[in-house]
Amino acid sequence: MIGEGIQSTNQRKHSYVQDRVEVGFFTDPSVCIGCKACEVACKEWNHVPDDGFTWSGNSYDNTGHLGASTWRHVMFLEQDRQKGNQVTGPMSLDDDPFRWVFLSDVCKHCEEAGCLEACPTGSIVRTEVGSVLVQNDVCNGCGYCVVSCPFGVIDRRPEPLHDAGGAFKCTFCYDRQKSGLVPACAKVCPTESIVFGRLDDLRARGAERVQQLKQSGYNDAQLYDPTETSVRGIHAFFLILGEPEAYGLPPKPQIPTIYLKSAWTSAFATAIASIIATLAAFALFS
Amino acid sequence: MTSNSPSEKRLEELREQAWKDGVVPGKGVDVAGGPIPRKPGYYGQPVVKPPVWTWEIPLYFFFGGMAGMSAVIATGSVLFHHVDLARAAMWLAVIGGAVLSPILLIMDLGRPHLFLNMLRVFKHRSAMSMGAWILSAFGACVVPGLIALELHAHQVFPGALDQLLRAAAGIFIFASAIFGTLLATYTGVLIGATAIPAWFLHRTLLPIHFGTAGLGSAAAVLELLGHRTPALNFLGFYAAAVETALLIWLSVDKHGTADRAIHEHGSGWLIRIGEILNGPLALVLRFFSFGPMAALSFLIGSLVSRIGWIAVGKVSGSDPESVFAAERY
């Protein structure tokens, strides 16, 4: 919480990896100032290569989207909606509500992870703290995780970047966590918009924050944590203002393995039909 | 200064519209990031990631499907004593399934030198892992199957050894047929069980399409190689009839915005052209006894539709509205 200083979970040493405690990120746009310190800290600590710079023309967002070389992405939403108890009217010609929302997006570390299930090399694993990790020396760059992530997070890094060819995404700073350190993005966040901690604590804290915001007039504040779908919840969850679509978040994300049964049934039926057709062809015309 | 000329009037109109709406859309002018973004989702950014696969993958689907189903034709030929046809089919299975397919798959990897990591684990919940094992098992059966068949056909060894080779050829060819049918159909599961809307919405159709296109392609190549037998002609009819039915299914089973990549854009045209070539056109040509023409039409059609399905994935995966719309299904 803001004002906790070195007592904050973002600044304390911990032993979550040794204690096998499920951890997570709670990201709260209502206190985000859009400084992008999380993006910089992530790139610097993890040696994520520079993948070029372009002006997007989309507010202050020149990062674009999460990908192989972008593991934190600060979104800048411009909406014609009221923000909290914002007063509209006197400042403009007519009643003209406007809000600017910043939210730092990251890999969701799903409870049921599409990328992890899809990976044919066993490169993607679940860690002691419940996060999803790509073991980069094992990945052969088949690209199947890319189409299996319901959030479009993981991607294959293109040439000529360093370490090209493999799939990359947020590691939840597993290396830091093993040494009792907090992930780089949470450590640097000046307003604690990104909070790192025990998943159960964070979920309680998120629910509390939504109540607080609603009392302050943020009527469309809600938690984005799809526990009701086949993804069964995410370890890096968000507080959002308005609908998830505006943040590029799917309202009902599904893990693609739920489609396996019908697809394999169809495949087996086709296999049997092909064998029967072939045998019939030879039996009838020999 | 005001003027009555049309060009000045146009400029005044633009000023009025800018004042009224706060933004002026126009040809070649992107106002997505204007004061309030007007694109779907987050500035129109893709919600899921489109596939990174390039030209190798549709070619692999084509050759893998043809090779896998060739082994089925080889089994039929062996059972009904068409040794020459069995040899040709097994050669096709080896070249397509044990040579071209692995090369294409390895070429498509981001790190080709680590291809053996595919066999590090066995994950039945990953269609990619199952595919790697199916392809390996297929290769391990077709190569000895072909060798045993050729040695037996040329009577290289006498007596008991030849009988042993005959039995070995039979067993390996039968095993190849089992793995072959899976090789030809699993690719439909592979792309059907993903987060790409136009793919997962058609996960039942895809394995039928890929498997049947594989069977038809195998029969077509064998016909073009000179094996113009009634049995292969029957298989040509069967495959073209199934593909025609699938074309009708695809045109009826529409999901609007969610699978518009199949019905719109260049990707939609690829699907349509491919399905017409290996469906109705191949069927009609075969009906009027233009066998080789029908075979050629089917082959081109199944290659084009494979390219089309990968193109559909790229378009559908880049379209945020498709992802949101697909969540209703």
Q: Is A247 found in the same domain as A185?
A: yes
User: What domains can you pick out in chain B, each with its CATH number?
Assistant: 56-326 (1.20.1630.10)
Is B112 an interface residue toward A (CB < 8 Å)?
Answer: yes
Task: Out of B110, B120, B208, name the one closest to residue A165 (CB).
Answer: B110
Per-residue confidence band for A92, with pLDDT thresholds at 50, 70 and 90: low
Same domain, A182 and A278: no
Q: Do A150 and B48 count as a contact with CB atoms less than 8 A apart? A: yes
- Asked if residue A233 and residue A109 are part of one domain, the reply reads yes
Query: Cβ contact (<8 Å) for A271 and B123?
Result: no
Q: List b or e across B44-73, with b for residues whose CB sees 16 or more CB atoms inside 10 angstroms.
A: bbbbbbbbbbeeebbbbbbbbbbbbbbbbb
Look at strands A221-224 and A236-241 and give their pairing: antiparallel
| B 46-105: CB under 8 A from A | 46-53, 69, 72-73, 75-77, 79-82
Q: What pLDDT is stored for residue B32 in this prediction?
A: 56
Q: What are phi and psi of A125, to 5 degrees?
A: -130, 165
Residue A149 touches chain B, beta carbons under 8 Å = yes
Considering chain A, what is the average pLDDT of its residues? 93
Residues A91-101, mean pLDDT to the nearest whole number = 72
The answer to whether the CB atoms of B51 and A65 lie below 8 A apart is: no
Q: Does residue A176 or residue B5 have the better pLDDT? A: A176
DSSP A181: P
Q: Look at chain A and report how many structural domains it folds into.
A: 2
Among B39, B45, B44, B49, smallest CA distance to B314 is for B49
Same domain, A145 and A190: yes
Please check whether residue A78 touches B, CB under 8 A: yes
User: Are residue A234 and residue A275 in the same domain, yes or no?
Assistant: no
Tokens of B198: 């136009």
Strand runs labelled E in A109-253: 124-126, 132-134, 155-156, 167-168, 194-198, 221-224, 236-241
CA atoms of B206 and B192, how far apart (whole Å): 7
| Contact of B37 with A60, CB cutoff 8 Å | no
Q: Are residues A138 and A190 in the same domain?
A: yes
Q: Do B193 and A256 touch (CB under 8 A)?
A: yes
Do A133 and A237 share a domain, yes or no? yes
Task: Choose the closest CB to A248 out of B111, B177, B320.
Answer: B320
> Do residues A157 and A274 share a domain?
no
pLDDT at res. A227 = 95
Q: Give contacts of B78 with chain A, Cβ < 8 Å.
A: none
Burial (CB count within 10 angstroms: exposed 0-12, middle 13-18, buried 19+), residue B191: buried
Q: Is A282 on the interface with B (CB under 8 A)?
A: yes
Who among A119, A143, A283 is closest to B126 (CB)?
A119
Residue A2 has pLDDT above 80, yes or no: no
Query: What number is the ipTM of this complex?
Result: 0.92
Same domain, A105 and A146: yes
Mean pLDDT, chain B cut into blocks of 10 residues (329 residues total): 78 88 73 66 94 97 98 96 95 98 96 95 97 98 97 90 94 97 98 97 98 98 95 96 96 94 93 95 93 95 97 97 89
Could you say which of B36, B193, B194 has the minimum Cβ distance to residue A80? B36
- State how far the alpha carbon of A128 is from the alpha carbons of A18, A151, A184, in Å: 8, 23, 19
Closest-CA residue of B relative to A258 is B193
Interchain contact, A245 vs B46, CB within 8 Å: no
- Give dist(CA B269, CA B301) in Å, integer: 12
Is residue A94 pLDDT above 60, yes or no?
no
Chain B: nearest CA to A90, how far in angstroms?
18
Using the Cβ of A147 and the Cβ atoms of chain B, whether some distance falls under 8 Å is answered with yes
pLDDT at A12: 87
Q: Which of B104, B114, B222, B329 to probe the A interface (max A CBs under 10 A)?
A: B114
pLDDT for A172:
97
Q: Do A244 and A260 fall into the same domain?
A: no
Distance CA A155, CA B48 (A): 10
Domain that holds residue A45: 5-254
Query: Is there a contact between A282 and B76 if contact means CB atoms under 8 Å apart?
Result: yes
A216 touches chain B (CB under 8 A): no
d(CA B237, CA B219): 10
What gap in Å lies between CA B193 and CA A258, rounded to an integer?
8
Specify the pLDDT at position B226. Answer: 93
A286 and A198 within one domain:
no
CATH number for position A125: 3.30.70.20
Q: What does the pLDDT read at residue B94?
A: 98
Q: Please check the confidence at residue A267 and state whether its pLDDT lies above 90.
A: yes
A141 part of contact set with chain B, CB < 8 Å:
yes
- For residue A241, the SS3 value is strand
Are residues A261 and A188 part of one domain?
no
**More confident position, A174 or B14:** A174
* Phi/psi-derived region of residue B64, left when phi > 0, alpha when psi is between -120 and 50, beta in every other case: alpha
Q: Which of B45, B73, B234 sits opposite A285 (nearest CB)?
A: B234
Inspect the interface and report whether the beta carbons of A118 and B132 lie closer than 8 Å.
Answer: no
Predicted confidence at residue B250, as pLDDT, reads: 94
For residue range A210-247, what is the model confidence (pLDDT) as tens digits?
999 999 999 999 999 999 999 999 999 999 999 999 99
